[in-house]
Structure 1
Protein backbone atom coordinates (compact mmCIF):
# COMPACT_ATOMS: atom_id res chain seq x y z
CA UNK A 1 0.00 0.00 0.00
CA UNK A 2 1.35 3.39 -1.02
CA UNK A 3 0.98 6.56 1.10
CA UNK A 4 -1.06 8.09 -1.71
CA UNK A 5 -3.63 5.33 -1.37
CA UNK A 6 -4.67 6.61 2.08
CA UNK A 7 -7.49 9.16 2.36
CA UNK A 8 -6.34 11.28 5.28
CA UNK A 9 -9.71 12.97 5.66
CA UNK A 10 -11.36 9.60 6.26
CA UNK A 11 -8.67 8.68 8.78
CA UNK A 12 -9.32 11.90 10.69
CA UNK A 13 -13.09 11.49 10.54
CA UNK A 14 -12.93 7.97 11.96
CA UNK A 15 -10.59 9.18 14.71
CA UNK A 16 -13.18 11.77 15.66
CA UNK A 17 -15.93 9.13 15.84
CA UNK A 18 -13.76 6.83 17.94
CA UNK A 19 -12.88 9.54 20.49
CA UNK A 20 -16.46 9.47 21.81
CA UNK A 21 -17.06 6.83 24.47
CA UNK A 22 -19.10 6.10 27.59
CA UNK A 23 -17.18 8.67 29.64
CA UNK A 24 -17.03 11.24 26.83
CA UNK A 25 -20.49 11.19 25.26
CA UNK A 26 -20.67 14.98 24.82
CA UNK A 27 -17.59 16.78 23.51
CA UNK A 28 -16.75 20.30 22.41
CA UNK A 29 -14.53 21.06 19.43
CA UNK A 30 -11.62 21.68 21.80
CA UNK A 31 -12.29 18.37 23.59
CA UNK A 32 -12.21 16.48 20.30
CA UNK A 33 -9.03 18.25 19.19
CA UNK A 34 -7.34 17.34 22.46
CA UNK A 35 -8.48 13.70 22.39
CA UNK A 36 -7.52 13.09 18.76
CA UNK A 37 -4.45 15.32 18.43
CA UNK A 38 -6.02 17.07 15.44
CA UNK A 39 -5.83 20.79 14.79
CA UNK A 40 -8.88 22.55 16.20
CA UNK A 41 -9.97 23.70 12.74
CA UNK A 42 -9.68 20.14 11.42
CA UNK A 43 -11.66 18.74 14.33
CA UNK A 44 -14.35 21.39 13.70
CA UNK A 45 -14.67 20.46 10.02
CA UNK A 46 -14.89 16.76 10.84
CA UNK A 47 -17.56 17.33 13.47
CA UNK A 48 -19.61 19.58 11.21
CA UNK A 49 -19.34 17.06 8.38
CA UNK A 50 -20.53 14.25 10.67
CA UNK A 51 -23.39 16.48 11.81
CA UNK A 52 -24.41 17.27 8.23
CA UNK A 53 -24.45 13.53 7.44
CA UNK A 54 -26.53 12.74 10.50
CA UNK A 55 -23.82 10.90 12.43
CA UNK A 56 -23.58 13.61 15.11
CA UNK A 57 -25.78 16.25 16.69
CA UNK A 58 -24.76 19.72 17.86
CA UNK A 59 -26.44 21.92 20.46
CA UNK A 60 -24.29 24.97 19.85
CA UNK A 61 -21.59 23.91 22.31
CA UNK A 62 -21.32 20.13 22.47
CA UNK A 63 -21.41 17.38 19.87
CA UNK A 64 -22.90 13.93 20.45
CA UNK A 65 -22.96 10.89 18.21
CA UNK A 66 -26.38 9.87 16.92
CA UNK A 67 -27.80 6.34 16.57
CA UNK A 68 -26.90 6.47 12.88
CA UNK A 69 -23.32 5.62 13.85
CA UNK A 70 -24.61 2.14 14.68
CA UNK A 71 -25.02 1.60 10.94
CA UNK A 72 -21.24 1.44 10.66
CA UNK A 73 -21.02 -1.43 13.12
CA UNK A 74 -24.10 -3.10 11.66
CA UNK A 75 -22.44 -3.12 8.26
CA UNK A 76 -19.64 -5.29 9.67
CA UNK A 77 -22.05 -7.63 11.44
CA UNK A 78 -24.22 -7.91 8.34
CA UNK A 79 -21.28 -8.48 6.00
CA UNK A 80 -19.71 -11.34 7.95
CA UNK A 81 -21.48 -14.70 8.38
CA UNK A 82 -19.74 -15.36 11.69
CA UNK A 83 -22.40 -13.89 14.03
CA UNK A 84 -25.24 -15.66 12.21
CA UNK A 85 -23.33 -18.93 12.23
CA UNK A 86 -22.43 -18.76 15.92
CA UNK A 87 -25.74 -17.55 17.35
CA UNK A 88 -27.57 -20.92 17.36
CA UNK A 89 -24.62 -22.56 19.07
CA UNK A 90 -24.47 -19.85 21.72
CA UNK A 91 -28.23 -20.18 22.26
CA UNK A 92 -27.77 -23.92 22.76
CA UNK A 93 -24.87 -23.42 25.16
CA UNK A 94 -26.80 -20.88 27.20
CA UNK A 95 -29.82 -23.18 27.40
CA UNK A 96 -27.66 -26.11 28.53
CA UNK A 97 -25.87 -24.16 31.26
CA UNK A 98 -28.48 -21.57 32.24
CA UNK A 99 -25.74 -18.96 31.88
CA UNK A 100 -24.86 -16.29 29.32
CA UNK A 101 -22.50 -17.14 26.49
CA UNK A 102 -20.71 -14.88 24.02
CA UNK A 103 -18.42 -14.86 21.01
CA UNK A 104 -15.73 -12.28 20.27
CA UNK A 105 -12.85 -11.46 17.95
CA UNK A 106 -9.67 -9.53 18.65
CA UNK A 107 -9.61 -5.88 17.56
CA UNK A 108 -6.44 -4.06 18.56
CA UNK A 109 -6.04 -4.20 22.33
CA UNK A 110 -9.70 -5.11 22.85
CA UNK A 111 -12.12 -7.88 22.13
CA UNK A 112 -15.18 -7.09 20.04
CA UNK A 113 -18.35 -9.00 20.88
CA UNK A 114 -19.95 -10.34 17.69
CA UNK A 115 -22.71 -12.52 19.17
CA UNK A 116 -24.27 -13.19 22.56
CA UNK A 117 -26.93 -15.37 24.16
CA UNK A 118 -27.92 -13.66 27.39
CA UNK A 119 -29.60 -15.89 29.95
CA UNK A 120 -29.19 -13.50 32.85
CA UNK A 121 -27.20 -10.35 33.45
CA UNK A 122 -23.91 -11.18 35.14
CA UNK A 123 -21.93 -7.94 34.79
CA UNK A 124 -22.60 -4.42 35.98
CA UNK A 125 -22.54 -3.29 32.33
CA UNK A 126 -24.63 -4.54 29.44
CA UNK A 127 -22.85 -6.58 26.81
CA UNK A 128 -24.04 -7.29 23.29
CA UNK A 129 -22.83 -7.41 19.72
CA UNK A 130 -20.51 -4.44 19.22
CA UNK A 131 -19.47 -4.19 22.88
CA UNK A 132 -15.77 -3.99 23.65
CA UNK A 133 -13.68 -5.13 26.59
CA UNK A 134 -9.92 -5.14 27.25
CA UNK A 135 -8.26 -8.28 25.95
CA UNK A 136 -5.63 -8.79 28.66
CA UNK A 137 -8.06 -9.47 31.53
CA UNK A 138 -10.94 -11.25 29.80
CA UNK A 139 -11.20 -14.96 29.13
CA UNK A 140 -11.86 -14.55 25.41
CA UNK A 141 -9.14 -11.93 25.16
CA UNK A 142 -6.57 -14.24 26.70
CA UNK A 143 -7.61 -17.04 24.37
CA UNK A 144 -7.14 -14.80 21.35
CA UNK A 145 -3.85 -13.35 22.62
CA UNK A 146 -2.52 -16.82 23.38
CA UNK A 147 -3.22 -17.86 19.79
CA UNK A 148 -0.87 -15.19 18.43
CA UNK A 149 2.91 -15.39 18.05
CA UNK A 150 4.51 -14.23 21.30
CA UNK A 151 5.92 -11.08 19.66
CA UNK A 152 2.48 -10.06 18.37
CA UNK A 153 0.82 -10.68 21.73
CA UNK A 154 3.56 -8.73 23.50
CA UNK A 155 3.07 -5.80 21.13
CA UNK A 156 -0.65 -5.70 22.00
CA UNK A 157 0.10 -5.89 25.72
CA UNK A 158 2.65 -3.08 25.40
CA UNK A 159 -0.07 -0.92 23.86
CA UNK A 160 -2.69 -1.89 26.46
CA UNK A 161 -3.55 0.15 29.51
CA UNK A 162 -3.10 -2.50 32.19
CA UNK A 163 -5.56 -1.70 34.96
CA UNK A 164 -6.20 -3.79 38.08
CA UNK A 165 -10.01 -3.81 38.05
CA UNK A 166 -10.10 -5.98 41.17
CA UNK A 167 -7.50 -7.19 43.70
CA UNK A 168 -7.34 -10.41 41.65
CA UNK A 169 -6.57 -8.82 38.28
CA UNK A 170 -3.32 -9.86 36.64
CA UNK A 171 -2.24 -6.45 35.44
CA UNK A 172 1.52 -6.71 34.92
CA UNK A 173 3.34 -8.07 31.89
CA UNK A 174 5.16 -10.99 33.58
CA UNK A 175 1.96 -12.33 35.17
CA UNK A 176 -0.06 -11.96 31.98
CA UNK A 177 2.66 -13.52 29.83
CA UNK A 178 2.84 -16.50 32.16
CA UNK A 179 -0.94 -16.85 32.06
CA UNK A 180 -0.98 -16.73 28.26
CA UNK A 181 1.53 -19.57 28.15
CA UNK A 182 -0.74 -21.62 30.42
CA UNK A 183 -3.78 -20.80 28.27
CA UNK A 184 -1.94 -21.81 25.08
CA UNK A 185 -0.90 -25.11 26.64
CA UNK A 186 -4.28 -26.10 28.09
CA UNK A 187 -6.49 -24.72 25.32
CA UNK A 188 -8.89 -22.77 27.51
CA UNK A 189 -8.84 -19.67 29.70
CA UNK A 190 -10.50 -19.08 33.05
CA UNK A 191 -11.02 -15.70 34.69
CA UNK A 192 -11.57 -15.74 38.44
CA UNK A 193 -13.01 -12.34 39.44
CA UNK A 194 -10.30 -10.42 37.56
CA UNK A 195 -12.62 -8.17 35.58
CA UNK A 196 -15.34 -7.75 38.19
CA UNK A 197 -15.69 -9.14 41.69
CA UNK A 198 -18.22 -11.95 41.80
CA UNK A 199 -17.83 -12.79 38.10
CA UNK A 200 -16.10 -15.84 36.64
CA UNK A 201 -15.78 -16.85 33.00
CA UNK A 202 -14.32 -19.59 30.86
CA UNK A 203 -13.42 -19.41 27.16
CA UNK A 204 -12.18 -21.64 24.36
CA UNK A 205 -10.89 -20.77 20.88
CA UNK A 206 -12.79 -21.44 17.68
CA UNK A 207 -10.63 -22.86 14.91
CA UNK A 208 -11.48 -22.88 11.22
CA UNK A 209 -10.97 -25.88 8.96
CA UNK A 210 -7.32 -24.84 8.49
CA UNK A 211 -6.68 -24.84 12.25
CA UNK A 212 -6.51 -21.05 12.54
CA UNK A 213 -8.13 -19.32 15.52
CA UNK A 214 -10.87 -17.05 14.16
CA UNK A 215 -12.81 -16.21 17.33
CA UNK A 216 -13.45 -17.27 20.91
CA UNK A 217 -16.56 -18.21 22.86
CA UNK A 218 -17.11 -17.97 26.58
CA UNK A 219 -19.56 -18.53 29.41
CA UNK A 220 -19.82 -15.95 32.18
CA UNK A 221 -21.45 -16.59 35.55
CA UNK A 222 -21.66 -15.26 39.06
CA UNK A 223 -18.98 -16.92 41.18
CA UNK A 224 -21.59 -17.82 43.80
CA UNK A 225 -23.29 -20.04 41.21
CA UNK A 226 -20.28 -21.32 39.32
CA UNK A 227 -16.76 -21.58 40.68
CA UNK A 228 -13.90 -21.87 38.21
CA UNK A 229 -13.52 -25.57 39.08
CA UNK A 230 -17.23 -26.09 38.36
CA UNK A 231 -16.84 -24.33 35.03
CA UNK A 232 -13.94 -26.53 34.01
CA UNK A 233 -15.70 -29.74 35.09
CA UNK A 234 -19.19 -28.92 33.79
CA UNK A 235 -19.06 -26.18 31.14
CA UNK A 236 -15.79 -26.98 29.37
CA UNK A 237 -16.95 -30.35 27.91
CA UNK A 238 -20.02 -28.65 26.42
CA UNK A 239 -17.84 -25.91 24.94
CA UNK A 240 -15.41 -28.47 23.55
CA UNK A 241 -18.30 -30.18 21.76
CA UNK A 242 -19.42 -26.93 20.15
CA UNK A 243 -15.81 -26.11 19.32
CA UNK A 244 -15.56 -29.41 17.44
CA UNK A 245 -18.90 -28.99 15.66
CA UNK A 246 -18.03 -25.50 14.45
CA UNK A 247 -14.57 -26.25 13.13
CA UNK A 248 -15.61 -27.71 9.74
CA UNK A 249 -18.18 -24.91 9.32
CA UNK A 250 -15.74 -22.02 9.78
CA UNK A 251 -13.91 -20.76 6.72
Structure 2
Protein backbone atom coordinates (compact mmCIF):
# COMPACT_ATOMS: atom_id res chain seq x y z
CA UNK A 1 0.00 0.00 0.00
CA UNK A 2 1.11 3.54 -0.64
CA UNK A 3 2.74 5.47 2.17
CA UNK A 4 1.28 8.71 3.53
CA UNK A 5 2.42 11.72 1.54
CA UNK A 6 2.38 15.15 3.14
CA UNK A 7 1.57 18.11 0.93
CA UNK A 8 1.08 21.73 1.83
CA UNK A 9 -0.57 24.99 0.90
CA UNK A 10 1.42 25.21 -2.31
CA UNK A 11 -0.36 22.00 -3.39
CA UNK A 12 -3.90 22.66 -2.11
CA UNK A 13 -4.20 26.40 -1.40
CA UNK A 14 -4.22 28.87 1.53
CA UNK A 15 -7.12 27.10 3.24
CA UNK A 16 -4.97 24.03 3.90
CA UNK A 17 -4.41 23.12 7.59
CA UNK A 18 -1.07 21.32 7.83
CA UNK A 19 -1.66 19.96 11.35
CA UNK A 20 -4.80 18.11 10.24
CA UNK A 21 -2.93 16.53 7.33
CA UNK A 22 -0.11 15.49 9.64
CA UNK A 23 -2.47 13.90 12.17
CA UNK A 24 -4.20 11.94 9.43
CA UNK A 25 -0.86 10.84 8.01
CA UNK A 26 0.07 9.46 11.43
CA UNK A 27 -3.15 7.46 11.60
CA UNK A 28 -2.73 6.19 8.03
CA UNK A 29 0.80 5.01 8.78
CA UNK A 30 -0.73 2.12 10.74
CA UNK A 31 -1.59 -0.83 8.49
CA UNK A 32 -2.35 -4.52 8.77
CA UNK A 33 1.41 -5.10 8.52
CA UNK A 34 2.23 -2.29 10.96
CA UNK A 35 -0.42 -2.59 13.65
CA UNK A 36 2.02 -1.50 16.33
CA UNK A 37 4.74 1.11 15.79
CA UNK A 38 7.34 2.94 17.84
CA UNK A 39 7.71 6.71 17.68
CA UNK A 40 10.74 6.29 15.42
CA UNK A 41 8.79 4.07 13.03
CA UNK A 42 5.87 6.50 12.83
CA UNK A 43 8.25 9.38 12.13
CA UNK A 44 9.95 7.38 9.38
CA UNK A 45 6.70 6.31 7.73
CA UNK A 46 5.23 9.82 7.72
CA UNK A 47 8.38 11.83 7.04
CA UNK A 48 7.76 13.90 10.20
CA UNK A 49 10.43 14.77 12.73
CA UNK A 50 10.25 12.86 16.02
CA UNK A 51 9.05 15.83 18.07
CA UNK A 52 6.11 16.51 15.75
CA UNK A 53 5.23 12.82 15.49
CA UNK A 54 5.33 12.53 19.30
CA UNK A 55 2.99 15.50 19.84
CA UNK A 56 0.52 14.14 17.31
CA UNK A 57 0.60 10.63 18.77
CA UNK A 58 0.06 11.94 22.30
CA UNK A 59 -2.81 14.16 21.11
CA UNK A 60 -4.44 11.21 19.35
CA UNK A 61 -3.93 9.19 22.55
CA UNK A 62 -5.63 11.93 24.61
CA UNK A 63 -8.58 11.76 22.20
CA UNK A 64 -8.75 7.97 22.45
CA UNK A 65 -7.70 7.12 18.90
CA UNK A 66 -4.26 5.76 19.82
CA UNK A 67 -3.07 3.62 22.73
CA UNK A 68 0.48 3.09 23.98
CA UNK A 69 2.25 0.61 26.23
CA UNK A 70 4.98 3.13 26.93
CA UNK A 71 7.08 2.09 23.96
CA UNK A 72 4.87 1.28 21.00
CA UNK A 73 1.65 2.84 19.71
CA UNK A 74 -1.39 1.32 18.04
CA UNK A 75 -4.79 2.48 16.87
CA UNK A 76 -7.84 1.86 19.03
CA UNK A 77 -11.36 0.78 17.99
CA UNK A 78 -12.46 4.41 18.32
CA UNK A 79 -10.91 5.06 14.88
CA UNK A 80 -13.86 3.14 13.44
CA UNK A 81 -16.02 6.14 14.30
CA UNK A 82 -14.25 8.11 11.57
CA UNK A 83 -15.47 5.76 8.87
CA UNK A 84 -18.85 4.96 10.40
CA UNK A 85 -20.45 8.26 9.44
CA UNK A 86 -19.48 7.68 5.81
CA UNK A 87 -20.58 4.07 5.72
CA UNK A 88 -23.84 4.73 7.54
CA UNK A 89 -24.73 7.48 5.07
CA UNK A 90 -24.14 5.18 2.11
CA UNK A 91 -27.13 3.23 0.87
CA UNK A 92 -24.99 1.10 -1.40
CA UNK A 93 -23.40 -1.30 1.16
CA UNK A 94 -26.78 -1.84 2.81
CA UNK A 95 -28.41 -2.50 -0.56
CA UNK A 96 -25.62 -4.83 -1.68
CA UNK A 97 -25.36 -6.90 1.50
CA UNK A 98 -28.30 -9.30 0.97
CA UNK A 99 -27.25 -9.90 -2.62
CA UNK A 100 -23.68 -10.60 -1.54
CA UNK A 101 -25.03 -12.99 1.08
CA UNK A 102 -26.94 -14.90 -1.57
CA UNK A 103 -23.90 -15.00 -3.85
CA UNK A 104 -21.61 -16.20 -1.06
CA UNK A 105 -24.13 -18.86 0.00
CA UNK A 106 -24.59 -20.18 -3.54
CA UNK A 107 -20.86 -20.43 -4.23
CA UNK A 108 -19.68 -21.05 -0.66
CA UNK A 109 -17.02 -18.43 -1.24
CA UNK A 110 -16.29 -14.93 0.08
CA UNK A 111 -18.21 -12.12 -1.62
CA UNK A 112 -17.44 -8.42 -1.25
CA UNK A 113 -18.12 -4.88 -2.40
CA UNK A 114 -15.42 -2.21 -2.68
CA UNK A 115 -15.03 1.40 -3.77
CA UNK A 116 -12.03 3.28 -5.11
CA UNK A 117 -10.22 5.66 -2.77
CA UNK A 118 -7.15 7.21 -4.35
CA UNK A 119 -4.84 4.45 -5.49
CA UNK A 120 -6.52 1.83 -3.31
CA UNK A 121 -9.75 -0.08 -3.00
CA UNK A 122 -11.66 -0.05 0.29
CA UNK A 123 -13.96 -2.88 1.30
CA UNK A 124 -17.37 -1.45 2.27
CA UNK A 125 -19.38 -4.68 2.43
CA UNK A 126 -18.26 -8.26 2.99
CA UNK A 127 -19.68 -11.76 3.44
CA UNK A 128 -16.99 -14.17 4.59
CA UNK A 129 -16.99 -17.78 3.50
CA UNK A 130 -16.68 -20.55 6.06
CA UNK A 131 -13.67 -21.66 4.05
CA UNK A 132 -10.32 -20.26 5.09
CA UNK A 133 -9.04 -17.29 3.10
CA UNK A 134 -5.40 -16.72 2.20
CA UNK A 135 -5.74 -13.00 2.99
CA UNK A 136 -7.45 -11.58 6.07
CA UNK A 137 -10.01 -8.99 5.00
CA UNK A 138 -12.74 -7.01 6.74
CA UNK A 139 -14.82 -3.91 6.09
CA UNK A 140 -12.30 -1.09 5.79
CA UNK A 141 -9.48 -3.26 4.45
CA UNK A 142 -7.43 -1.58 1.72
CA UNK A 143 -5.37 -2.98 -1.13
CA UNK A 144 -3.54 -1.41 -4.06
CA UNK A 145 -6.17 -1.23 -6.78
CA UNK A 146 -4.00 -2.59 -9.58
CA UNK A 147 -3.42 -5.91 -7.78
CA UNK A 148 -7.10 -6.84 -7.38
CA UNK A 149 -10.03 -7.75 -9.59
CA UNK A 150 -12.24 -5.10 -7.98
CA UNK A 151 -9.52 -2.49 -8.37
CA UNK A 152 -9.12 -3.18 -12.06
CA UNK A 153 -12.87 -2.98 -12.59
CA UNK A 154 -12.94 0.36 -10.79
CA UNK A 155 -9.93 1.68 -12.72
CA UNK A 156 -11.56 0.57 -15.96
CA UNK A 157 -14.56 2.71 -15.05
CA UNK A 158 -12.51 5.92 -14.93
CA UNK A 159 -12.37 8.41 -17.82
CA UNK A 160 -9.27 8.07 -19.97
CA UNK A 161 -7.81 11.38 -18.81
CA UNK A 162 -8.05 10.44 -15.14
CA UNK A 163 -6.69 6.96 -15.83
CA UNK A 164 -3.73 8.52 -17.67
CA UNK A 165 -2.99 10.73 -14.66
CA UNK A 166 -3.04 7.75 -12.32
CA UNK A 167 -0.74 5.74 -14.56
CA UNK A 168 1.71 8.64 -14.72
CA UNK A 169 2.32 8.35 -10.97
CA UNK A 170 1.76 4.61 -10.57
CA UNK A 171 4.55 2.54 -9.03
CA UNK A 172 4.10 -1.18 -9.47
CA UNK A 173 5.30 -3.51 -6.75
CA UNK A 174 5.40 -7.28 -7.14
CA UNK A 175 3.21 -8.80 -4.43
CA UNK A 176 3.81 -12.26 -5.93
CA UNK A 177 5.62 -13.79 -8.89
CA UNK A 178 2.39 -13.36 -10.86
CA UNK A 179 1.83 -9.65 -10.22
CA UNK A 180 1.87 -7.53 -13.37
CA UNK A 181 5.08 -5.50 -13.38
CA UNK A 182 4.66 -3.49 -16.58
CA UNK A 183 2.39 -0.42 -16.76
CA UNK A 184 1.84 -1.15 -20.46
CA UNK A 185 0.67 -4.68 -19.68
CA UNK A 186 -1.54 -3.37 -16.87
CA UNK A 187 -3.10 -0.74 -19.13
CA UNK A 188 -3.80 -3.40 -21.76
CA UNK A 189 -5.44 -5.54 -19.10
CA UNK A 190 -7.64 -2.66 -17.90
CA UNK A 191 -8.67 -1.96 -21.50
CA UNK A 192 -9.63 -5.62 -21.79
CA UNK A 193 -11.65 -5.39 -18.57
CA UNK A 194 -13.52 -2.42 -20.02
CA UNK A 195 -14.48 -4.36 -23.11
CA UNK A 196 -15.53 -7.60 -21.44
CA UNK A 197 -17.19 -6.03 -18.39
CA UNK A 198 -15.44 -8.08 -15.71
CA UNK A 199 -12.01 -8.88 -14.30
CA UNK A 200 -10.25 -12.07 -13.25
CA UNK A 201 -7.03 -11.80 -11.23
CA UNK A 202 -5.03 -14.92 -10.43
CA UNK A 203 -2.49 -14.98 -7.58
CA UNK A 204 -1.38 -11.36 -8.08
CA UNK A 205 -2.41 -10.06 -4.66
CA UNK A 206 -1.59 -13.24 -2.76
CA UNK A 207 -0.24 -16.55 -3.97
CA UNK A 208 -3.10 -19.02 -4.37
CA UNK A 209 -5.85 -16.38 -4.21
CA UNK A 210 -8.06 -15.93 -7.25
CA UNK A 211 -10.59 -13.10 -7.56
CA UNK A 212 -13.29 -12.20 -10.07
CA UNK A 213 -15.22 -8.93 -10.13
CA UNK A 214 -17.74 -6.86 -12.06
CA UNK A 215 -18.65 -3.15 -11.89
CA UNK A 216 -21.70 -1.74 -10.11
CA UNK A 217 -23.11 1.29 -11.95
CA UNK A 218 -25.51 3.99 -10.84
CA UNK A 219 -28.54 5.02 -12.87
CA UNK A 220 -26.35 7.32 -14.96
CA UNK A 221 -24.05 4.48 -15.95
CA UNK A 222 -21.12 5.59 -13.81
CA UNK A 223 -19.12 2.89 -12.03
CA UNK A 224 -19.56 3.50 -8.29
CA UNK A 225 -18.35 0.19 -6.84
CA UNK A 226 -17.24 -3.32 -7.69
CA UNK A 227 -18.54 -6.69 -6.49
CA UNK A 228 -16.32 -9.74 -6.33
CA UNK A 229 -15.88 -13.33 -5.28
CA UNK A 230 -12.58 -14.59 -3.89
CA UNK A 231 -11.61 -18.26 -4.12
CA UNK A 232 -8.62 -20.39 -3.29
CA UNK A 233 -6.81 -21.38 -6.47
CA UNK A 234 -6.63 -24.99 -5.37
CA UNK A 235 -10.42 -25.36 -5.50
CA UNK A 236 -10.98 -24.27 -9.08
CA UNK A 237 -9.34 -23.04 -12.30
CA UNK A 238 -9.51 -19.70 -14.14
CA UNK A 239 -11.61 -21.40 -16.83
CA UNK A 240 -14.15 -22.63 -14.27
CA UNK A 241 -14.29 -19.22 -12.60
CA UNK A 242 -15.03 -17.61 -15.94
CA UNK A 243 -17.63 -20.22 -16.83
CA UNK A 244 -19.42 -20.69 -13.49
CA UNK A 245 -18.64 -17.76 -11.20
CA UNK A 246 -18.58 -14.68 -13.40
CA UNK A 247 -22.16 -15.14 -14.72
CA UNK A 248 -23.35 -15.28 -11.10
CA UNK A 249 -21.36 -12.17 -10.20
CA UNK A 250 -22.84 -10.33 -13.19
CA UNK A 251 -26.33 -11.41 -12.14
CA UNK A 252 -25.68 -10.20 -8.59
CA UNK A 253 -24.45 -6.84 -9.90
CA UNK A 254 -27.63 -6.41 -11.97
CA UNK A 255 -29.74 -7.05 -8.86
CA UNK A 256 -27.72 -4.54 -6.83
CA UNK A 257 -28.06 -1.94 -9.59
CA UNK A 258 -31.81 -2.46 -9.82
CA UNK A 259 -32.23 -1.96 -6.08
CA UNK A 260 -29.91 1.04 -6.16
CA UNK A 261 -32.02 2.73 -8.84
CA UNK A 262 -35.18 1.97 -6.87
CA UNK A 263 -33.67 3.42 -3.68
CA UNK A 264 -32.67 6.64 -5.46
CA UNK A 265 -36.13 6.96 -7.00
CA UNK A 266 -37.86 6.74 -3.62
Tell me if both proteins adopt one fold, taking TM over 0.5 as the criterion: yes
Report the Cα offset of residue 97 of structure 1.
1.5
| Closer/same/farther in 2, CA of residues 100 and 25 from structure 1, 3 Å limit | closer
Q: What's the counterpart of residue 23 of structure 2?
A: 13
d(CA) in 2 for partners of 1:98 and 1:211?
30
Q: Pick from 99, 110, 126 the counterpart of residue 116 of structure 1.
A: 126
Does residue 195 (structure 1) correspond to residue 205 (structure 2)? The answer is: yes
Report the Cα offset of residue 5 of structure 1.
3.0
Does residue 224 (structure 1) correspond to residue 212 (structure 2)? The answer is: no
Contact map agreement 1:209 1:249 (CA 8 A) in 2: no
Deviation >6 Å, runs of 4+: none
d(CA) in 2 for partners of 1:22 and 1:238?
31
Q: What's the counterpart of residue 40 of structure 1?
A: 50
Q: What's the counterpart of residue 114 of structure 2?
A: 104
Contact map agreement 1:123 1:196 (CA 8 A) in 2: no
Contact map agreement 1:146 1:180 (CA 8 A) in 2: yes
Q: What's the counterpart of residue 242 of structure 1?
A: 252
Moved more, 133-142 or 17-26: 17-26
Report the Cα offset of residue 71 of structure 1.
1.9
TM-score by length of 2: 0.87
Q: Which secondary structure does the structure 2 equivalent of 1:104 belong to?
A: strand
Moved more, 186-195 or 32-41: 32-41
Contact map agreement 1:200 1:226 (CA 8 A) in 2: no
Q: Pick from 142, 145, 148 the counterpart of residue 155 of structure 2.
A: 145
* Residue-by-residue CA offset, 1:28-57 (whole Å, 9 max, x unaligned): 333322221223332222111101111112
Gaps of 5+ in 1: none
Q: Which secondary structure does the structure 2 equivalent of 1:27 belong to?
A: strand
Contact map agreement 1:102 1:113 (CA 8 A) in 2: yes
d(CA) in 2 for partners of 1:15 and 1:166?
27
Moved more, 105-114 or 165-174: 165-174
d(CA) in 1 for partners of 2:232 and 2:73?
38
Report the Cα offset of residue 121 of structure 1.
4.1
TM-score by length of 1: 0.91
d(CA) in 1 for partners of 2:97 and 2:15?
37
* Residue-by-residue CA offset, 1:127-161 (whole Å, 9 max, x unaligned): 11111111112100000011112332243344444
Q: Pick from 151, 163, 177 the counterpart of residue 187 of structure 2.
A: 177
Aligned pairs, number: 251
* CA RMSD in angstroms, aligned pairs only: 2.0
Contact map agreement 2:148 2:201 (CA 8 A) in 1: yes
Q: Which secondary structure does the structure 2 equivalent of 1:119 belong to?
A: coil
Q: Pick from 223, 240, 251 the counterpart of residue 213 of structure 1.
A: 223
Q: What's the counterpart of residue 79 of structure 2?
A: 69
Q: Which secondary structure does the structure 1 equivalent of 2:40 belong to?
A: helix
